[in-house]
Structure 1
Amino acid sequence: MKNPLPFKVFAACALGLLMILPGAHAREPRQVAVLEVAPETPQLRLELPGRVVAPGTVGIRTEEEGRLLSVAVEAGDRVDAGEELARIDDTLLRASLDKAIANRKQAEMDLKRQLELRKSHVATEDEVTRARTALQVAQAEEAVLRTRIARTRIRAPFAGSVVRRMAEPGTVLGARDDLLLLQPATGLRVETWIPVQLLPLARQARWTLQDAAGQPLGTARLEFGEPAAAAESQTVHIRLLPGKSLSLAPGSRIAIGMSVTAPAGIWLPLSAIGEDSQGRHVMIVDAGKARRVAVETGPTISGKMLVSRGLQPGTRVIIRGLGGLHEGDAVRIHEEDGHE
């Protein structure tokens, strides 16, 4: 019987040769989903939380010295222009006013008498002039005291909100002492934060406002945007100027709507864009194989990124099935998304 060993060795070698021949174990094409790109103009609508802020505060000070009798407001209260905020004891000023009124009445009588005496050529013109001057002085003193008494009723110079009480009833205050801190109601602003990549579009956005109950408060415009102090947050501080005065206190919560029409161009899902040491790229289908294409990108909106350079309309970009895919791999399209 012949030895079968040489045949077995030959068969094993032949099998090994077949295994290394090209195409003996050709890889199956990768199944991918693609998007045939075309220019589009995405619409973005964001709902952002915000709050009402005042550009600054104004100190309310006394104009007359005296004991503080009352303070009619508390921190957080809203006040109207001209509303009484506090009252200073005016007892001494009123006593002085009574004296000034008596002096003015006496001066009126003196002038009247001098005018009658002049008719009889008893009083001289100089005496009449002195009497008239004395009356004018008495009238001025009375007017000054009335003004000082009015100043003991401290009133709001503008509509706003009380931030802090700085003196309490019973305190003896001098002129120009601090009494209250107010925030003006006019000039109120609204602030919020947006992703930093939306800053270039913020000035073209349409901004709308709603109060906490959902009631519309009109539109607003961007006043400024500045990068956040924490760079890692990737946010921008936005301040808006309402189109009309807000009847809300500073610190009130508010809902902000941001509507943006993005620039026309090719927009791809973020999942379709890769990044490595050579920069950002996408994988496209070219003659049944995956091909890497370098791209330049712009802002990101609603999960899509603008491709500003590198792609032409009609290119089929792989958007799913990218895991482990390399340039030159054979691909088979099993799903093709229409232009969104």
Structure 2
Amino acid sequence: MLFVGSTALAAPTMVETVDVEQQRWRQTLPLYGTLTSPRDAELTPRVAGLVERVDVDAGDRVDAGETLITLDRSLARLTLNTLEASVAEARAQLAEAERLASEAERLAARSAISQTELASRRSEVDVQAAALDRLRAEAARQREVLDRHEIVAPFAGTVRERLVEPGEYVAESTPVVGLVATERLRMDVAAPQQYFSAIEAGMPVRIQPEALHGETLEAKVDVKVAASDALARTFLARIFVDNAAGRLTPGMSAKVLFEITSPEEVLVIPRDALVREPRGGTRVWIVESGDEGLRAVERQVSLGRSADNRVEVLSGLSAGDRVIVRGNESLSRGQRVRLAEPRAGPDRAATAADRSLRLSDGTSG
């Protein structure tokens, strides 16, 4: 191939190149959300009454079943005592009815009483047994009412707020204590719909709560809701975070890092290889070897995903092409180039292909 003009006569421009690679697309997807508690409740009494004692205050840690507030139980206890006395009375009346019925059975065997009298005494036993059962049920109900004068914690957590004081009268709909579970927090993340197939339940994620100043916590996706928000074009990913140490609290903001990997391989190049055109579109420069050495060749490309200083190339390049990532700002078509020695650090080491291209150009780098 013969190039004519000033471009051909100019000294070669030093450039840096990398290979176009075919690999599975990997990216870190950062999404943001707020830590919340899976259990946050305002507790109300199960019976109305006068507050006798308050055993907790805001900030207290409580266990499930622990008593938080006690209502005055004087009247309820008196009612229970009355019912228990009635149960004892009914039990005695049943015993007497059973004794009389047994006596009637013996007399009837000797034809000393009529069958009608025997049937009456048997019926009295049934009546007294039913009365005893009714009173036992009423006493059991009253015991439950008495127990309900204590408001207990339905789950372990932290008292968010105390809403009543001793001496106040509360109805069954009156909130008395705010309780929130904090040992295990929840984070609901709205993920873009294009990642629906990439995010699965069980996949590991990293969480960076803002309050921990960059510290990372390991977690996993617990639930992926297979329904999307039609307006926002998102779906729900739910993550639970262990907080046994108590370093986090509901309401904190946090960033979730999802490591996304595509199942198929794609062409990937560094973002530095891209040259934006004033009229729109994107091109890259690649290095080709000809009769007169190395030349810069322009390629129009179409792009896909972009992340972590890398871009996906949908068309315009092939695996193994060498794209220019440094020195491509002012190249012209057919311009002679030479390859710079790779820099130390994260840049790629020189390959055998680099060396052979430099030899074909007649330069030593």
TM-score scaled by structure 1?
0.72
Q: Deviations over 1:142-168 (max 9, x none)?
A: 111100011111222334444443433
> Residues 313-324 of structure 1 correspond to what in structure 2 (within 5 A)?
313-324=319-330
Whether 2:317 is the aligned partner of 1:311: answer: yes
Which secondary structure state, in structure 2, belongs to the residue aligned with residue 128 of structure 1? helix
TM-superposed deviation, 1:305: 1.4
TM-superposed deviation, 1:319: 0.2
Whether 2:172 is the aligned partner of 1:175: answer: yes
In structure 2, the partner of 1:302 is 308
> Residues 249-288 of structure 1 correspond to what in structure 2 (within 5 A)?
250-251=250-251, 258-261=258-261, 264-276=265-277, 277-286=279-288, 287=290, 288=294
TM-superposed deviation, 1:135: 1.9
Whether 2:209 is the aligned partner of 1:207: answer: no
Give RMSD over aligned pairs: 4.4
- Which deviates more, 281-290 or 328-337? 328-337
Q: Distance in 2 between matches of 1:196 and 1:127?
A: 75
Sort the Cα spacing of 1:88 and 1:119 in 2 relative to 1 into closer, same or farther, 3 A.
same
Which secondary structure state, in structure 1, belongs to the residue aligned with residue 177 of structure 2? strand
Please, which of 293, 296, 305 is the counterpart of residue 290 of structure 1? 296
TM-score scaled by structure 2?
0.67
Q: Distance in 2 between matches of 1:187 and 1:296?
A: 46
Name stretches of at least 5 consecutive residues in structure 1 with no aligned partner: 1-21, 231-235
Q: Distance in 2 between matches of 1:31 and 1:130?
A: 111
Please, which of 149, 156, 160 is the counterpart of residue 146 of structure 2? 149
In structure 1, the partner of 2:107 is none
Q: Which amino acid aligns with 2:18?
A: L
TM-superposed deviation, 1:219: 3.7
> Residues 80-229 of structure 1 correspond to what in structure 2 (within 5 A)?
80-121=63-104, 124-183=121-180, 188-190=185-187, 201-203=198-200, 206-207=204-205, 219-221=220-222, 223=224
Q: Which amino acid aligns with 1:323?
A: E
Name stretches of at least 5 consecutive residues in structure 2 with no aligned partner: 105-116, 343-347, 352-365
Q: Which amino acid aligns with 1:57?
A: D
- Which deviates more, 92-101 or 213-222? 213-222
Q: Which amino acid aligns with 1:168?
A: E
Identity level (%): 26
Q: Deviations over 1:268-315 (max 9, x none)?
A: 221212333332221222454433312222223322112232211221
Report the count of equivalent residues.
313
Q: Say whether the 8 Å CA contact 1:210–1:255 is kept in structure 2.
A: yes
Q: Say whether the 8 Å CA contact 1:36–1:339 is kept in structure 2.
A: no
Sort the Cα spacing of 1:325 and 1:187 in 2 relative to 1 into closer, same or farther, 3 A.
same
Q: Deviations over 1:222-273 (max 9, x none)?
A: 636989x99xxxxx9974334x976455346888664444553332221212
Sort the Cα spacing of 1:278 and 1:254 in 2 relative to 1 into closer, same or farther, 3 A.
closer
